[in-house]
Amino acid sequence: MTTARITVDSDAVVAPLNRRIFGSFVEHLGRCVYDGIYEPGHPTANEDGFRLDVVDLVRELGSTTVRYPGGNFVSGFRWEDSVGPREKRPVRRDLAWHALESNQVGVDEFARWLKLTGSELMMAVNLGTRGIEAALDLLEYCNHPSGTALSDQRIANGTAEPHDIRMWCLGNEMDGPWQTGYMTADDYGKIAARTAQAMKTADKTLELVVCGSSGSMMPTFGDWERTVLEHAYDHVDYISCHAYYQERGGDLDSYLASSLDMQYFIETVVATADHVGNKLRSSKKIKLSFDEWNIWYLDEHRESDEVNDQWRYAPRQLEDVYSVADAVVLGNLLITLLRNHDRVASASLAQLVNVIAPIMTEPGGDAWRQTTFFPFSVTSRLARGTVLRPRIDVGTYATAVYGDAPLVDAVVTADDEGGAVFLVNRSRTESIEVSIDVTALGAGAIAEATTLWDEDVYARNTLEDQERVGLKPLEGASLADGVLTVTLPPVSWSAIALS
């Protein structure tokens, strides 16, 4: 059997765990909000119209910060439409997804929904069709306690306490030609810097995210980050990264190594941000907000006509149904985010419900977990304390896209009470026996050993078969003399908690 050795060194500290790394994303897109988190007629709906069966699954998923309201949607969003008496709210055209927006869920309802789920709001402002004034007005409406026009409007609308939103995104994917009001890096850098400066004049403790590239495949990747940061460095705290992956042309080997692209992406943005910071002789380090990441079968959606010229309410759009292989890749992407947690301080799985999501719903019916739900929920539940970067000695396999890729990837977290090891086996054919020296963690027992794998790497959970794929015990895991030994099945994601 193929073998691997992993050594955990308690000095190989990446960063203390910040739970914002387990963020997610709710956009007014398809059935994410309407017929997703919100369905007034559903048997589990509360007085606001929110489905409580979905709330339970979101809590189980363990997502933390939730980015809202877009995405591409935000670049046409007029926040004023979404507050006040519901019967007076206008219907608008959403150009991003060619849909109708009823505005029945808006800023105040969404903040209430977040309280049900125990999550933090990360708000995006519209820099596509709007600018500084609308951003400042939204900030005043949300965060000012009382005694001003907009804070009193919020109170009159039923929300006495300020929403106290800490993280704000300065627009969305402004480099993308698909974005309403997209810009050159120079133009965006200037408006982002001025908006950030104004918002921080209102509240210097805000944490602001400037748009990075929409993906590492963008022709302006790298140059965009440099130019934008040359304008905005002093005023912002994070730069965003977005990355989506999918299996292409039946090349599962390359797909299973997708996290190598995410690693390249992170290293490039960190190097670019530090280059600008060093040139400016700044002592500040810009953090990365990986605020869109997931599996997305984008090529197939582009070929479909689900985004079309009809103007519909909450059409079924971007409803990917995920396989075991997709879940393994997602687990590996999360390992990569954790391993770079010293710079990637915040991240958002895009998205949360129905739209490229770990949770699916049927109107009037069930809510269920996709395969990708499991690695995310287990990692969020078990990761604690400090992230450690383990040393991994393992062989490689050949991929068409990334060259030779390591067969196993892993990350470790630890606190005084124990630790957790998260691993993937990328081999399509081989089980791999992994010996993990965890002496440094001082652990005495295995508290939990679980894996996600299946004989059929393309098995999925569907409306008809909602529990086809789930977690299984990782058979045969043992701990003796400080060495944890596990056998990872082919194409699998696993987690071992130590106490």
Cα–Cα distances in angstroms (integers) from residue 136 to residues 130, 144, 168, in the given order: 11, 11, 11
What does the alpha-carbon distance between residue 314 and residue 43 come to, in Å, rounded to a whole number? Answer: 20
Closest separation between CB of residue 291 and ligand AHR, Å? 9
The answer to whether 375 contacts ligand AHR (rule: CB under 6 A) is no
Residue closer to ligand AHR, measured from CB, 49 or 71:
71
Cα torsion at 387, 391, 396, 401 (round to 10°)?
Answer: 40
Site for ligand AHR in 467-496 (CB under 6 A): none
Sheet holding 312-313, edge to edge: 92-94, 99-101, 312-313
- Cβ neighbours, 10 Å, residue 393: 13
Stretch that binds ligand AHR, among 12-20, 69-77, 364-372, 447-455 (CB under 6 A): 69-77
CB of 7 to ligand AHR, least distance (A): 38
- Binds ligand AHR (CB under 6 A): choice among 23, 36, 49, 71: 71
Instruction: Please say which residue, 71 or 106, places its beta carbon nearer to ligand AHR.
Output: 71
The rounded distance, in Å, linking the Cα atoms of 348 and 122 is: 10
Q: How far apart (Å, rounded) are the C-alpha atoms in residues 485 and 220? A: 45
Cβ proximity to ligand AHR: between 6 and 169 the closer is: 169
Scanning 41-49, 70-78, 84-92, 478-486 for contacts with ligand AHR by CB under 6 A, the matching segment is 70-78
Q: Which residues are annotated as catalytic?
A: 173, 292
Q: How far is the CB of 331 from ligand AHR (least distance, A)?
A: 20
The three-class DSSP label of residue 420 is strand
Letters for 200-219 (x = contact with ligand AHR by CB under 6 A, - = none) are --------------x-----
350 part of the interface to ligand AHR, by CB under 6 A: yes
Nearest distance from residue 27's CB to ligand AHR, in Å? 5
Q: Does 140 participate in binding ligand AHR (rule CB under 6 A)?
A: no
Q: Which of 313, 124, 107 is nearest to 208 (CA)?
A: 124
Query: Could you say whether residue 27 binds ligand AHR (CB under 6 A)?
Result: yes
Query: What region, left, alpha or beta, does residue 354 occupy, with left being phi > 0 and alpha being psi -120 to 50 degrees?
Result: left
Q: What angle do CA 218, 219, 221 make, to 5 degrees?
A: 65
CB 69 to ligand AHR: min, Å: 10
Binder of ligand AHR out of 292, 320, 326, 409 (CB under 6 A) = 292
> Cis peptide leading into 390, omega within 30 of 0?
no
Decide whether 207 or 292 has the Cβ nearer to ligand AHR.
292
Q: Is the distance from CB of 370 to CB of 461 less than 8 angstroms?
A: yes
Establish if 72 lies at the interface with ligand AHR (CB under 6 A). yes
24 phi/psi in degrees, rounded to 5:
-140, -160
Looking at the Cβ atoms of 22 and 25, the one nearer to ligand AHR is 25
Residue 172 within binding range of ligand AHR, rule CB under 6 A: yes
Of 80, 109, 140, 173, the one binding ligand AHR by CB under 6 A: 173
- Shortest distance (Å) from residue 436 CB to ligand AHR: 35
Distance between CA atoms of residues 393 and 409, nearest Å: 10
**Shortest CA distance to 244 belongs to which of 290, 295, 289, 286?**
295
- Contact present, 311 and 262 (Cβ < 8 Å): no
Give residues with Cβ within 8 angstroms of 310, minimum separation 6: 98
What minimum distance in Å lies between the beta carbon of 318 and ligand AHR? 7
Rounded to whole angstroms, what are the CA distances from 370 to 7, 174, 236, 274, 461?
A: 33, 31, 36, 38, 6
385 DSSP 8-state letter: S
Give helix then strand counts, H and E, for the chain.
11, 27
Smaller CB distance to ligand AHR: residue 72 or 289?
72
Q: Which is nearer to ligand AHR, 27 or 39 (CB)?
A: 27
Q: Which stretch binds ligand AHR (CB under 6 A): 68-76, 98-106, 190-198, 384-392?
A: 68-76
Residue 330 DSSP one-character state? H
Residue closer to ligand AHR (CB basis): 2 or 172: 172
Residue nearest to ligand AHR (CB): 71
Min dist CB 72 to ligand AHR, Å, is: 4
Does 128 bind ligand AHR (CB under 6 A)? Our answer is no
Three-point CA angle 469, 474, 478, nearest 5° = 175
Query: CA 463, 465, 469 angle in degrees (round to 5)?
Result: 115
Q: Which residues contact 277 (CB under 8 A, 6 or more apart)?
A: 229, 233, 284, 285, 286
One of 351, 379, 380, 461 touching ligand AHR (CB under 6 A): 351
Residue number, 357 or 394, with CB nearest to ligand AHR: 357
- Smallest gap from Cβ 78 to ligand AHR, in A, equals 17
Check residue 94 for interaction with ligand AHR (CB under 6 A).
no
Residue type present at position 325: A
Q: How far is the CB of 162 from ligand AHR (least distance, A)?
A: 27
**124 forms part of the interface with ligand AHR (CB under 6 A):** no
CB count, 10 Å around CB of 2? Answer: 18
Closer CB to ligand AHR, 328 or 350, in the complex: 350
70 contacts ligand AHR (rule: CB under 6 A): yes
Of 334, 348, 355, whose CA–CA distance to 291 is shortest? 348
**126 is a site residue for ligand AHR (CB under 6 A):** no
Contacting residues toward ligand AHR, per CB under 6 A: 27, 70-72, 172-173, 214, 292, 350-351
